[in-house]
Amino acid sequence: MSTSKELTFFVVDLSGPMVSRHSGEETDLDIGLKYYYDHVANVLLKNRKIDRMGVILVHGTGNGSEDELEVLFDDEQFTYETFKRYSEKMRAANNNYESKQNEEGNSNIIDATLHGLDQFKVKIHLKYLRNLVVITNGEDPLYLEGEESLAEKISDYTDFINTYDIKVTVVGVGFDKKIKITEQKQENVKFWNQLMTKWNGRVLDAEALNRNVQYSSALKKVAPRALYTGSMTFGLGSEALSGEKNSNINEVGGLTLDVQMFPATRPEKLASGHTYDLSEKSSSSVKRITKHYYKKYKEQDDQTEIKDEESGDDADYEKVEVSVGDYVPGFKYSKHDIIAVNQDLAEIAQLYSLAGISIIGFIKQVDFPYAYFTDESSYVIPSKSASPSKMILFNSVVKSLLDLKSIALARVVTGDGKEVQLCSLTPQLVQIEGKYSYSFVAIRIALKEDQKIGRFPYLTEKTNSNTQIEDNDLDDLDEGKSANQDDSRKREYPSEDVIELMDSFVKSKDLDKNDKGTSHKHILANQKVALRETEFVNFGTTIKEMNTDAKLLPSNPANQKYNTNLKKIVIKSLEKESLWDFLNEDKFVEKYLVTSNKNKASMEEKSTNLFNLNNIVSGNTVNTKDWLSEINKDSLLTSENLKDSLKIKYLLKKDTSKRRQQAGTAFERFFRADGESAEEKKPSGGFGTFFDINDLLGD
Amino acid sequence: MSYNPNEDSDDEEKNSYQQYEIKDGIIFLIEVTPDLLAPRKGLSNKSKLYEILTSINELMSDLIITQRNTGVGIYLYNCELSPTLKSMKSAPGFNRLFRLSFLNLTNMKHLNDLLSDDKAGVRPLDYYFKYSKPSESENLPVIFNKILDELINRKEFNRKKVIWLTTNDEPYTQKSTKEALWRIINDYYAHDFFIRPIFLSKDSSEFDMTRFRDIFLNTNYLNMNKNETTKDGQDPSFHKDSSIFRKTVVDDEIKKSIFRAREVRRIQFACDIILSDGGKVGGNLGCSVKGYTICSHERYKRDLLLYTKGETLKRVFTDSNLINADTNEVIVDKEKEKAVKDEDNVKEIESQNESTTCKGHLLAGGEIVFLKDEIVQFMTNYAFDHTPESTISEKVDEEEENEEIEDDEGMRTEDVTFTLPPYLKLLGFRSLDRFNASYNSQAPMFVTPDLSDGQQTSSTKGGYQSSFTTFSSLYQSCVKLKKYGVLFGCIRKNAKPSLWALYPTRVESSSRNIKGEYDFPEGFLLIKLAFLDDIRCLPNHFIDDKANRFTNDEDNLCADEEIVADLKDLFRDFYYESYNPDDFPNPSLNYFYKIIKHELLQIELSEEDKKLVNNDQTAKKLDYLKEYIHSDENRLNRIKKINYRLQDIDERAPKRALEDDKASKPPAKKAATAPELDEGAILVAWKNDEWHQFTVPQLRGFQKKYKDQIKSATKKQDLIDNIKAFLDSRER
């Protein structure tokens, strides 16, 4: 079982060089702390009672005496108030350069780091994900108290770190700098790198990390929960599923695999938050209360019939409140046949089948249309307790289907008595640490009642003229639309020249360009699929080069935008007395969220709240900077030509109010008084604002 | 805009389209002729009428599941009045089986009984339906006028159509009739009612369509109403090339033709696809499109609540109010709101409500970061910038508009530099064979050009000219070059953006390939692609199983070559050439409807009727498959051979591994389960209001006993509250 409880300590270097303002704007501490703030904002927003966080401040430089280290840790939930308190101290140090600039000596950051590790010892018997983050710029000479004993000490800690899987990270300000770097710093960077190699930790450059944090989000592992655990069979009849007695399941005439099914896709939503009432000078949460009632009509006209919600709603009635338990779900078989579905009936009306995955046949992958995939996909893998032979059978089935370029179709019931589904099982290779494992991906497919497609115009002249071959395939011409004068122009088939231009447009926007990788149709390789545990502390990916598949799998830029701004608000609020007043400030967006571009001349630094080709695929990816806009450059000329030869202009709608007046039939228009609009005449006219009414009514 | 906690933007996006329910009213108008009643060889000696009515019967049982708000009516002319028919009292021989009304059991049973009587030989169909010779005076105009009245009176349907089935190619002889019919049919169109004739072929001679053409092809109508049609942008008349006038329907196609009546286009969204970016063209190359549903999971909806304690069933409604959790004051009261609305003060009240509630996030420690609407709007701004290099950097932030230009013809056009949602922006193209559909998340939609170039779409401010031509050439190029497009964008105004694949139809993995059936229409599938956040991880036991892994260059020891070879041989016999959903009705759904129908009609169901295999096509398939294996010695032996080999592998497998395996299994740990709660214990607890001694499983056990009355909950406190509410209600 993996745990998600988190215990994190930050070791923050507050020595003279960290707080000196050499560049004028930001101190090294400011830069180094950005990552800390981001992490804390995350912790606050996550608001989990089980997480713990502490800070070890390393004041100035000195002789390693204990009071140089200040441990801030409360063994309770880290709150906004705690955050403010800790930050206060750091800010004080940051503004305290005067008193520190004359200090000289060695840095006791190593000692502080070890001290930080000691902090874990108190709760070492509990299950935690343990992180230690050291923030320093490595300018001061390291205080290495008796070098030999230190080396010994470090190796003691090495065992400790390995045993308890503590992740140590050094966030180094200016560690990537190539010029103007002191010899001392070079030596320190080297030291940290060596130490982290020993400790299996990482050294990251603060600025690179900050950029990464802005564009990337934590890779979250939601504990996988099996949707189904049991057998997957081929060649066994249905009697084993009917739940009748004496059914013999152990037949030689069939194959039985032990499998488990896990969710593969579940769309992540925006942080949902809650609704609050801000009426007084405080915010309190809002509850929704639902009352149930039936309508008691004053005129007892027709007692037996259940009134339709559409009709008779204006009639005089009084609401009679009903308590829980006095009503049951109902089912409308048709408009006129309504039945109460109590628990008994619901159970009887359920087609009973035992759980199981049963293959009903195979189909070539190219013969099965994607259009019939209807739901979120799931992984199907050998079950945890599968015997070696079952493992081999599973792998062999997947392999043979991969070789045959086919998918299996299977009847799937995930629990006894649950709905019967049909799923496609697509063979896939999962990439784990450069090697492959066999698996299936299951996706629910459409059944008879699920098909909803209508008829649509032909897009090619050839098909259009061959309608007779296609039987009486009616397009919307017959359904009585768009046969007017404009139509001939609007349904003009493209000329050879235009198609040729379009061909070169399509070719010029090839995303697979420069991607030498082979077809990835059967491979699942991404940062999530084989993730062992959540990377709360997101260090960006270690992948150096990404193929097109991976580049097109960024984190969601909308979630990113929302979360980044939310964290920004939390962090900015630190400098303010009251969160309430801060959030109530006028022009909040302009003052605190819009990033000014005035001082940044170069394109790449320009920030914008709009999406564009460069920023939509940048989250958690590598080498996507300018990737899409570079590809786009090759298509500029063709785009221009296409636009001209197709005579495309963006046409604004005519005034809609005029159009509405025209609505209705000729008959209705005739009787409508001047100046009266269709809306007033027809109660249903309001739809027009929501949909394309012609589409719904016309065909 | 105030934030509603129950509405994520993902849900919200759907609402605007779902508010509107399609309610089809379909009238079947059947002309009875001797030919129609004659038994046919091709229809196993049943008449065409039998085939028509059977098809309608099946159509109705289908529609009750998929579109129960459809209305059906069956009318016949030139048909003698009989006990099962009701006269339309307008023309002799014009009768109805049942009037156009919402699908209901009475009508369905009526028709079904007639057909099963015929089938069982109790009473043949022609006992009820007899040909009556039409009068000289030509009643067709009267009949069509009456049908028109029927349609006009049925206000509950918002789309109405008549399906006119006939074998008679001489519906009229007099010129006056022709003119009258022509005028009446124009009236149908003026009401947006649609008539679709189905000409059933005759054996004796060619079906002569001249007379039908004369009344349907209203060229004069077009000329007369030229101005009207251009303004409205549509004209409902037939096209003279319409395939309807080219072909008749032969016997075995009757069903198919009737089933087309249920085909409905369900619009999902309408927006622009922007193809270009940057440079001089900016976002000016694009086309306007519409998206429609292809498939969606049909499930039964328990969509209403019923009060069962009274003499009759009563529908239960709900009112919900927002209240302040601290003060219990009502914030938004629907009743009051409604009352105020009547007094025409809507605006004022609404703005008050808006300002008091807003979205917020609770921080650890109790502080709340509340976000005013303007902040939320900034954070959820999904506009797309097509010209990021240009100097106007904060376009949308400053609410600047794209530049509007009036062109030569006085049309208002604009230069597209950015687009507000909804939009789809093209990123580029990829080879079809690189598409991996593994991370599917929803049913794909069908994308087709917007023939009105976005001029009738409410969610956009306009659209691209030549959309059809652009889209058509894009489709042709993608098919030819075997490419699919990758798009980014929001398909609805309030939707979150996604990455999408724009995958052409009628190419590999995108065709139906079903013999004798239509392929998908030409166009693109819009398939939602996953973001990294949407992907779930595999369980650690699989990730850590290093033995179960291989590299391409090493020997692959995870699979057994011999078994793989045997499997491949075996599987070859179990291939589908294509997948046809029509072969697989949803077993659970149909069973539910079957039981409910029998319950409503108070008919017993036999045990045989309840059996799984008799209700589940997929289970039946399993039996066929098993039978097929057992029918051939080779197949059976191959399976046996694989199983023996597997046994062998287990025997040879190092014992330790097996033991390890056993050891690693968690001991069957069933925490000492607390005893089930009886009513007594609960009542004591309720009296004393002491609940802490119970465990959640105990409480849940009690709740399950009274499932209908006590709502389930995920939190213990909620569960207790629900049980208390139940007991309180009992006390009263």
Task: Retrieve residue A540's tokens.
Answer: 């960006």
- Asked if the structure places residue A491 within a domain, the reply is no
Position A515: which residue type?
D
pLDDT band at B491 (very low <50, low <70, confident <90, very high): very high
The verdict on A660 and A641 lying in the same domain is no
d(CA B487, CA B501): 6
- H-state helical runs in B89-236: 105-119, 140-153, 175-190, 210-216, 219-224, 226-232
Q: Which residue of A has its CA nearest to B529?
A: A553
Average pLDDT, chain B: 80
- Name the residue in chain A with its Cα closest to that of B21: A696
Final residue in a domain of this structure, among B664, B695, B713: B664
Local structure of residue A54 (DSSP, 8 states): E
For residues A92 and A131, state if they share a domain: yes
Same domain for B379 and B484, yes or no, is yes
Domain boundary among A165, A184, A215: A215
Q: Are residues B184 and B272 in the same domain?
A: no
* CATH at A20: 3.40.50.410
Distance CA B408, CA A534 (A): 60
The B residues from 675 to 704 touching A (CB cutoff 8 Å) are none
Average pLDDT over residues B192-209: 78
Q: How many whole angstroms separate alpha carbon B386 and alpha carbon A639? A: 13
End-to-end CA distance of chain B: 42
Whether A573 is covered by a domain: the verdict is yes
pLDDT-derived band at B245, boundaries 50, 70, 90? low
- Characterize B460-480 residue by residue with b for buried, 16 or more Cβ atoms within 10 angstroms of its Cβ, and e for exposed: bbbbbbbbbbbbbbbbbbbbe
Note whether B225 contacts A666, CB cutoff 8 Å: yes
Structural domain includes residue B723 = yes
Side chain identity, residue A416: D
Q: What pLDDT sits at residue B56?
A: 92
B631: left (phi over 0), alpha (psi -120 to 50) or beta: alpha
Q: Average the pLDDT over A420-449 and give the result.
A: 94
pLDDT at position A205 is: 87
Average pLDDT of the residues in A124-132: 85
Per-residue pLDDT tens for A479-500? Answer: 333 333 344 445 789 999 999 9
Percent of chain A with pLDDT strictly greater than 90: 25
Mean pLDDT in residue range B493-507: 94
- B359 near A CB under 8 A: yes
Using one digit for the tens of pLDDT, what is the confidence trace for A578-633? 888 888 888 888 888 886 555 444 444 457 888 999 889 988 887 788 899 999 99
SS3 labels along B295-351: ECCCCCCCCEEEECCCCCCEEEEEEEEEEECCCCCEEECHHHHHHHHHCCCHHHHHH
Q: Is B98 on the interface with A (CB under 8 A)?
A: no
Q: Provide the pLDDT for residue B619.
A: 93
Domain's final residue, options A184, A199, A215? A215
- Residue owning tokens 């609305």: B341
Question: Per the CB < 8 Å rule, is B68 touching A332?
Answer: yes
Taking Cα atoms as reference points, which of B293, B294, B272, B297 lies closest to residue B283?
Answer: B272
Domain assignment of residue B167, given as a range: 24-262
- pLDDT tens, B83-93? 888 888 888 88
- Asked whether residue A571 is domain-assigned, the answer is yes
Give the model's pLDDT for residue B673: 62
Token duo for residue A610: 């709009």
Q: Check residues A258 and B18 and name the one with the higher pLDDT.
A: A258
Percent of chain B with pLDDT over 70: 82
Reduced to 3 states (helix: H, G, I; strand: E, B; else coil), residue B476 is helix
Are A389 and B653 an interchain contact pair (Cβ–Cβ within 8 Å)? yes
Does any domain span residue B84? yes
B300 interfacial to chain A (CB closer than 8 Å):
yes
C-beta separation of B42 from B254 below 8 A: no
Lowest mean pLDDT among A373-387, A667-681, B315-329, B425-439: A667-681
Is A558 a member of any domain? yes
Is the Cβ of A164 closer than 8 Å to some Cβ of chain B? Answer: no
- B584, B727: one domain: no
Q: Indicate whether B171 and B282 sit together in one domain.
A: no
In whole numbers, what is the pLDDT of chain A averaged over residues? 78
Judgement on whether residues B500 and B607 belong to the same structural domain of the protein: no
Taking each helix axis as running N to C, give the angle between helix B346-356 and helix B334-342, from 0 to 180 degrees, rounded to the nearest 10. 150
Q: What amino acid is encoded at B163 in this protein? A: I
From chain A, the residues in CB contact with B445 under 8 A are none
Q: If pLDDT is split at 50, 70 and 90, which confidence band does A61 have?
A: low
Q: What is the Cα–Cα distance from B503 to B498, expressed in whole angstroms?
A: 15
Answer yes or no: is pLDDT of A147 > 70. Answer: no
Binned at pLDDT 50, 70 and 90, residue A216 comes out as: confident
Cα nearest neighbour of A567 on chain B: B369
Virtual torsion, Cα A153, A158, A163, A167, nearest 10 deg: 120
Q: Is B280 on the interface with A (CB under 8 A)?
A: yes
Task: Enumerate residues 474 to 493 of chain A having a beta carbon within 8 A of any beta carbon in chain B.
Answer: 474-475, 477-487, 490-493
ipTM: 0.85
pLDDT in tens, A91-112: 877 776 666 655 556 677 888 8
Neighbouring-strand partners of residue A524: A430
- B232 and B132 in a single domain? The answer is yes
Nearest-angstrom CA–CA distance, B100 and B159: 13
Residues A548 and A571 in one domain: yes
Please tell me the predicted confidence (pLDDT) of residue B615: 92
Nearest residue of B to residue A591, measured between CA atoms:
B375
Contact across the interface for B646 and A379, Cβ inside 8 Å: no
Is A415 inside a domain boundary? no
Write the CB contacts of A632 (distance below 8 Å, at least 6 apart in sequence).
Answer: A509, A613, B277, B278, B428
Same domain, A685 and A626: no
Closest chain A residue to B457 measured between Cα atoms?
A692
A494 touches chain B (CB under 8 A): yes
Residue of B nearest to A307 (CA): B315
More confident residue, B683 or A245: B683
Rounded-to-integer distance, Cα A140 and Cα A573, Å: 32
What pLDDT is attached to residue A65? 52
Total of domains in chain A: 3
Q: In the block, which residue shows the tokens 């129609």?
A: B36
Which pLDDT tens digit goes with each residue over B608-658?
A: 888 898 999 999 999 999 999 999 999 999 999 999 999 888 888 765 444
Are A652 and B414 within 8 A, CB to CB?
yes
Indicate yes or no: CB of A648 within 8 angstroms of CB of B286: yes
The strand pairing partners of A107, in sequence order, are A142
Which CATH number goes with the domain that contains B217? Answer: 3.40.50.410
A139 and A24, same domain (yes or no):
yes
Residue A45 shares a structural domain with residue A162: yes
Question: Cβ contact (<8 Å) for A566 and B361?
Answer: yes
pLDDT value for A149: 72
Hey, which of A486-495, B230-239, B677-686, B723-732 has the most confident mean pLDDT?
B677-686
Amino acid at residue number B474: L
Q: Which residue has the tokens 């491979």?
A: A523
A601 touches chain B (CB under 8 A): no
For CA atoms A405, A409, A414, A419, the dihedral sign is positive
Q: What is the CA radius of gyration of chain A?
A: 33
* B139-152 CB burial, b ≥16 within 10 A, e <16: bbbbbbbbbbebbe
pLDDT greater than 90 at residue B340: no
Contact with chain B for residue A295, Cβ under 8 A: yes
Q: Which of residues 225-244 of A touch B (CB under 8 A)?
A: 226, 234-238, 241-243
- Enclosing domain of residue A660: 656-698
* pLDDT the model gives residue A122: 84
* Three-point CA angle B137, B142, B144, nearest 5°: 130
Q: Over 70: is that where the pLDDT of B409 sits?
A: no
Beta carbons of B22 and A696 less than 8 Å apart: yes
Binary contact (B477, A503; C-beta < 8 A): yes
Let me know whether A596 and A634 are in one domain: yes
The confidence score (pLDDT) of residue B578 equals 94
Which band of pLDDT confidence, cut at 50, 70 and 90, is reported for residue B432?
Answer: very high
**Span B694-717, pLDDT tens digits:** 888 888 888 877 777 777 777 788
Give residue B654's pLDDT: 66
Token pair for B436: 């991996």
B140, B217: one domain: yes
Chain B residues closer than 8 Å to A697 by CB: 158-159, 192
Residue B410 forms contact with A (CB below 8 Å): no
In a domain, A592, yes or no: yes
DSSP-derived 3-state class of residue B18 = helix
Residues A560 and A680 in one domain: no
What does the pLDDT read at residue B524? 97
Q: How confident is the model at residue A471 (pLDDT cuts 50, 70, 90)?
A: very low
Cα–Cα distance for residue pair A41/A563, rounded to 1 Å: 10
- Looking at A215, A244, A272, the residue that finishes a domain is A215
Q: Do A553 and B530 touch (CB under 8 A)?
A: yes
CB contact under 8 A, A284 and B586: no
Across the interface, whether the CB atoms of A333 and B68 are under 8 A apart is answered yes
pLDDT at B481 over 50: yes
A191 and A152 assigned to the same domain: yes
Q: Tell me: do B341 and B328 sit in the same domain.
A: yes
CA distance B286 to chain A (A): 8
Element (H, E) at B25: strand B24-31
For B142-175, how does the pLDDT look when each residue is reduced to its tens digit (9 = 90+)? Answer: 999 999 998 998 888 888 889 999 888 888 888 8
Indicate the residue of A447, A484, A640 with minimum beta-carbon distance to B585.
A447
User: Looking at the predicted structure, is the pLDDT value of residue B12 above 50?
Assistant: no
* Closest to A448 in 3D by CA, of A425, A422, A473: A422
CB contact under 8 A, A519 and B433: yes
Whether residue A90 has pLDDT greater than 90 = no
For B186-203, the DSSP string reads HHHHHTT-EEEEEEBP-S
Q: Are A71 and A54 in contact (CB under 8 A)?
A: yes
Please tell me whether residues A622 and A664 are part of one structural domain. no
What percent of chain A clears pLDDT 70, i.e. is strictly above it?
Answer: 76
A663/A684 same-domain check: yes
Task: Tell me, yes or no, whether A138 lies in a domain.
Answer: yes
The predicted pLDDT at position A218 comes to 79
CA distance B428 to B169: 54
- Helix, coil or strand: residue B671: coil
Is A265's CB within 8 Å of B530's CB?
A: yes
pLDDT tens string B667-692:
444 445 667 777 888 888 888 888 87
Rounded CA separation A694/B110 (Å):
35
Q: Which residues, numbered 371 to 390 in chain B, qualify as contacts with chain A under a Cβ-Cβ cut-off of 8 Å?
A: 371-372, 374-375, 378-386, 388-389
Does residue B174 sit in the same domain as residue B243? yes
Separation in Å, CA of A607 to nearest CA in chain B:
9
Q: What is the pLDDT of residue A369?
A: 96
The length of chain A is 699
CB contact under 8 A, B532 and A219: yes
With a CB-CB cutoff of 8 Å, which residues 2-61 of chain A face chain B?
Answer: 2, 43-48
Q: Are residues B249 and B291 in the same domain?
A: no
Q: Is A640 at the interface with chain B, CB within 8 A?
A: yes
User: What is the number of domains present in chain B?
Assistant: 4
> Which of A259-268, A400-409, B244-253 shows the lowest per-residue confidence on average (mean pLDDT)?
B244-253
A chain contacts of residue B370, beta-carbon cutoff 8 Å: 276, 278, 283, 583
| pLDDT tens digits, one per residue of A219-242 | 888 889 999 999 999 998 888 887
Q: Is there a cis peptide before residue B422, judged by omega within 30 degrees of 0?
A: yes
Cβ(A129)–Cβ(A86) under 8 Å? no
Q: Is the pLDDT of residue A692 over 70?
A: no
Residue contacts between A and B (CB atoms, under 8 Å): 1007
Across the interface, do B455 and A651 touch by the CB < 8 Å criterion?
yes
A385 touches chain B (CB under 8 A): yes
- A76 inside 8 A of chain B by CB: no
Residues B281, B208 share a domain: no
Q: Which residues of A touch B380 (CB under 8 A)?
A: 270, 558, 561-562
A137 closest CA partner among A1, A54, A32: A32
State the angle between helix axes of B696-705 and B716-731 in degrees (0 to 180), rounded to the nearest 10. Answer: 40
> φ and ψ at A640, to 5 degrees?
-60, -50
Rounded average pLDDT over B509-531: 91
Contacts of B659 in chain A (CB under 8 A): none
| Chain A interface, best mutation among B262, B303, B440, by max A CB count within 10 A | B440
Phi, psi of A608, deg, nearest 5:
-150, 155
DSSP track, B82-105? -TT-EE-SSSTT-EEEEEEEE--H
My answer on whether A143 and A17 are in the same domain is: yes
pLDDT computed for residue B488 by the predictor: 97
Across A546-556, b (16+ Cβ under 10 Å) vs e yields: bbbbbbbbbbb
Final residue in a domain of this structure, among B506, B536, B566 = B536
pLDDT-derived band at A151 (thresholds 50, 70, 90) equals confident
CA dist A564 to A154, A568, B259, Å?
37, 6, 53
* Average pLDDT for A459-468: 65
**Which of B505, B536, B567 is at the close of a domain?**
B536
CB-based contact (8 Å) between B602 and chain A?
Answer: no
Could you count the other beta carbons within 10 Å of the beta carbon of residue A20? 16
**How is residue B731 written in tokens?**
């006390």
Do B461 and B418 lie in a common domain? yes
Phi, psi of A331 (to 5 degrees): -130, 135
A90 to chain B, closest Cα gap in Å:
20
Q: Is residue B670 part of a domain?
A: no
Phi then psi dihedrals of residue B504, to 5 deg:
-65, 150
| Residue in A238, A492, A558 nearest the CB of B468 | A492
Q: Report yes or no on A75 lying in a domain.
A: yes
